[in-house]
Amino acid sequence: MKKKKVSKLTKKLGRMINTGLALLALLLIVGSAIATYIQYTKIFDEHTSRVASTVADGIDGDFIERLYKAQQGEDFDELRNMPEGEKKQDKVKKWLDQKGLLKEYDETIEFMEDFNANMGTEFVYICVIDNGKSIDLMEAFDRYNSLGHTEELESSFDYLKGNQDVEPTNTLSGYGWLSSGGGAIYNSNGEAVAIAFVDMDNTKIYNQFRIFLIIVSATAFVTVILVTFVVMKSVYKGVAEPIELLTQEAENFADSETYSKEMIQELDIKTDDEIENLYKSTQHMQHSLIDYMDNLKKVTAEKERIGAELNVATQIQADMLPRIFPAFPERKEFDLYASMDPAKEVGGDFYDFFMIDDDHIGLVMADVSGKGVPAALFMVIAKTLIKNRALMGGSPSEVLAYANDQLCEGNDAELFVTVWMAIIEISTGKGVAANAGHEHPVLRRKGGQYELVTYRHSMAVATLEGLKFKQHEFQLYPGDSIFVYTDGVPESTNSNNELYGTDRLLEALNKEPNASPVEILKNVTDSINEFVAGAEQFDDTTMMSFSYYGANLSKKLGEHKRELTIEADLDNMDRVTKFIEDGLAAHDGNSIKIAMDIAVEEIFVNIANYAYGDKKGMATITVEFFKDPNAIKVIFEDSGTPYNPLQKPDPDVTLSSEERQIGGLGVYMVKKSMDEMTYEYEDGKNILTIVKKF
């Protein structure tokens, strides 16, 4: 089997060498043929041009000019269009005699015929190029038929401008290989008046060319055979035989079930080239491989132990982050969701959220420099310090200043952590945030789009002891949302080394801006996964979404919603009242039926009487029902004259009816009987909202 393998190598080298030498021979033959063809063609073309110029120099240009001008007369038109033959020859001859040109014409033809016979040319003829047409004046061996023959040219000629290029052509059968050349004929004033053309036969030259190719090919073939024999002998002794020994030794080593340095054999390979270097490198590799395999068992056992510890560390890190959602199911004022996807077994990113007291929530998003176990340990300490200090009270800047000083102590690894921290008052939506070198947060106002909130940040935590951190106040309104993240999100990279970036992040967030925090994070995650398309990531991706609904019921989302659009007319009062009462009956709200009837009637009557004046208009009544606590919200919308009933001062109910000013009592009664009453003017509509608990 081993000899067979060496034989295959020898055959392969033989095929490669033979192919290379054959290609070399072919290149030599083709190159020689091309060079010979170019040189022969150049010489023959130059010769053809010189012959054509010689013919032109021997012809009287003044005569040619007179001849051409004479045939422009009307008396020649009949001759021009006559078919060739004896009749045309006789008439042309008489016409030449009448013009006094016959003698010179015959002398010129005889000169051309003598030249053609003595110089070995095939054809000699004279023509004029005029407006894209070739007009024959005379042709050797055809004295009179050619005069006046006109052809349309397929391409332009520049012979009259002194250009005497030669164009070899393979003409139709009967003419063989020809080279054509032309020379300008000048009159006594030095003006070019016509062209003398000659055609010369290339057949002899090309026959010589073929003989030359045969000789070159035969020489190359013999040379290839001799060189192949010598090269193959040298290659076998210097390449194939040493490689055979190396192959046998490698197979013996690979087939062995046990490995020891005693099994490595010394081979007689002294080629003083790369093959000998390969043999020495192979020996060194065998020794190294045996050492490596001895250590591999120890390394494998240690790696399994470390892997198990890393799995435990990963689980511990995951358990330290809040992962139970909804996090605060009893709180209806807000909703949040967060996730962390480490790039390695354990990562340095972390998030946190916790209730500081019953009316304040703390939000934290952070990213530790570095990766792996050191970053994870630093993350555990930073998270603990920040949360514990926040629960003791204080602003975000105070919390970060405390964590910074603690982390700077003994920070020999010089790790640091970027942090975004906010404390939000749930009842009012007022918040205070500090940003220690972290990514810009993203804010969405109710009904709007997610947008980056950019401002100058403080330095990262644990960079310098005694740092002070800037903080700023912000206001959340019901329906607003905050999205925070680590740099692993915008720096996610695809296979083309492109970054995901904040533009794609905003596009993913605004795909469904009204979505819940869970859906928001899913949209962003899906967008990142689609972008990276499986490319390996080198940073953790951590995100948190916080939606604020507010403490006011009028700003919360209803669980059951009904809507009625009707003409703002007093005749429709009963339909509006029944619409409200049906909803109350379906939600066990009959206890507030009377109060709601009075309030709804007061508001709808005001819309019917005053919103549109003398014109007719529409009103939309939307009803939403809530649980925990049970409540009803009624929204009245009309497109009438802008009017805020809440701006009207409350009447003084301590006065008698005679003493009080007229008006305002109905709105006052609604305000007192409802738990909430708000007004806004938006998109050309009056929007009045009332809320009643039951």
Which tens digit of pLDDT belongs to each residue from 468-517? 999 999 999 999 999 999 999 999 999 999 999 999 999 999 999 999 99
Tell me: pLDDT of 165 over 50: no
What is the predicted pLDDT for the residue at 559?
60
Tell me: pLDDT of 635 over 70: yes
Instruction: State the sign of the Cα–Cα–Cα–Cα dihedral 311, 317, 323, 324.
Output: positive
pLDDT tier for residue 221 given thresholds of 50, 70 and 90: confident
Query: In this structure, which amino acid lies at residue 484?
Result: V
Asked whether 514 and 479 are in contact (CB, 8 A), the reply is no
Label residues 340-357 b or e (16+ Cβ within 10 Å = b): bbbbbbbbbbbbbbbebe
What does the pLDDT average to over 178-185? 81
- Cα gap 347→338, rounded to integer Å: 16
Q: Give the pLDDT confidence of 429-465 residue by residue, as tens digits.
A: 999 999 999 999 999 998 899 999 999 999 999 999 9
- β-sheet bridge partners, residue 432: 423, 473
Q: At what angle do helices 203-235 and 2-57 cross, to 10 degrees?
A: 160
pLDDT tier for residue 278 given thresholds of 50, 70 and 90: confident
Percent above pLDDT 90 for the chain: 38
Closest CA to 337 of 549, 545, 550: 545
Tell me: pLDDT of 171 over 60: no
- Cα gap 628→558, rounded to integer Å: 12
Tell me: pLDDT of 569 over 50: yes
Residue 630 token pair: 């049970």
Of 262-276, 316-330, 517-531, give the range with the top mean pLDDT.
517-531
Tell me: pLDDT of 268 over 80: no
Closest CA to 553 of 469, 376, 677: 677
pLDDT tier for residue 155 given thresholds of 50, 70 and 90: very low
What is the predicted pLDDT for the residue at 276?
67
What does the pLDDT average to over 369-374? 78
Closest CA to 604 of 637, 556, 561: 637
Question: CB within 8 A of 65, min separation 6: which ones?
Answer: 187, 193, 194
Tell me: pLDDT of 258 over 90: no
Q: Give the pLDDT confidence of 62-93 residue by residue, as tens digits.
A: 999 898 888 888 888 888 778 888 888 888 88
- Cα gap 457→365, rounded to integer Å: 14
- Cα gap 114→52, rounded to integer Å: 14
Coil, strand or helix at 558: coil
159, burial (CB in 10 Å: exposed 0-12, middle 13-18, buried 19+): buried
- β-sheet bridge partners, residue 320: none
Tell me: pLDDT of 672 over 60: yes
Coil, strand or helix at 20: helix
- 28-42, 134-148, 620-634: lowest mean pLDDT where? 28-42
Asked whether 517 and 453 are in contact (CB, 8 A), the reply is no
Coil, strand or helix at 173: coil
For the chain, what is the radius of gyration of the CA atoms? Answer: 52
Tell me: pLDDT of 321 over 60: yes
- Cα gap 603→687, rounded to integer Å: 11
- Cα gap 466→482, rounded to integer Å: 30
- For the chain, the average pLDDT equals 82
- Cα gap 112→84, rounded to integer Å: 21
Tell me: pLDDT of 158 over 50: no
- Cα gap 653→104, rounded to integer Å: 140
466, burial (CB in 10 Å: exposed 0-12, middle 13-18, buried 19+): exposed
Residue 668 token pair: 């006052």
Coil, strand or helix at 128: strand
Tell me: pLDDT of 319 over 90: no
Q: Quickly count: other Cβ atoms within 10 Å of residue 421's Cβ.
A: 28
What is the predicted pLDDT for the residue at 256?
67
CA 92 to chain centre: 78
pLDDT tier for residue 159 given thresholds of 50, 70 and 90: very low
| Model pTM score | 0.44
- In the DSSP assignment, the letter for residue 439 is P
> Torsions phi, psi of 595, nearest 5?
-60, -40
What is the predicted pLDDT for the residue at 679?
94
395, burial (CB in 10 Å: exposed 0-12, middle 13-18, buried 19+): middle
Q: Give the pLDDT confidence of 532-566 residue by residue, as tens digits.
A: 998 887 788 999 999 999 865 444 445 678 899 99
Residue 464 token pair: 């310098």
Tell me: pLDDT of 168 over 50: no
What does the pLDDT average to over 150-176? 46
Of 42-56, 211-225, 585-599, give the range with the top mean pLDDT.
585-599
- In the DSSP assignment, the letter for residue 322 is -
- 168-172, 538-542, 599-603, 620-624: lowest mean pLDDT where? 168-172
Coil, strand or helix at 211: helix
What is the predicted pLDDT for the residue at 166?
37
- Cα gap 351→337, rounded to integer Å: 10
What does the pLDDT average to over 643-651? 86
Phi-psi region at 272: left, alpha or beta (left = phi > 0; alpha = psi -120 to 50)? left
- In the DSSP assignment, the letter for residue 262 is G
- 174-178, 205-209, 426-430, 535-539: lowest mean pLDDT where? 174-178
Tell me: pLDDT of 576 over 50: yes
Of 134-138, 212-216, 437-441, give the range with the top mean pLDDT.
437-441
- Cα gap 503→501, rounded to integer Å: 6
Tell me: pLDDT of 304 over 80: no
What is the predicted pLDDT for the residue at 438?
96
- 3-17, 190-204, 339-353, 544-558: lowest mean pLDDT where? 3-17
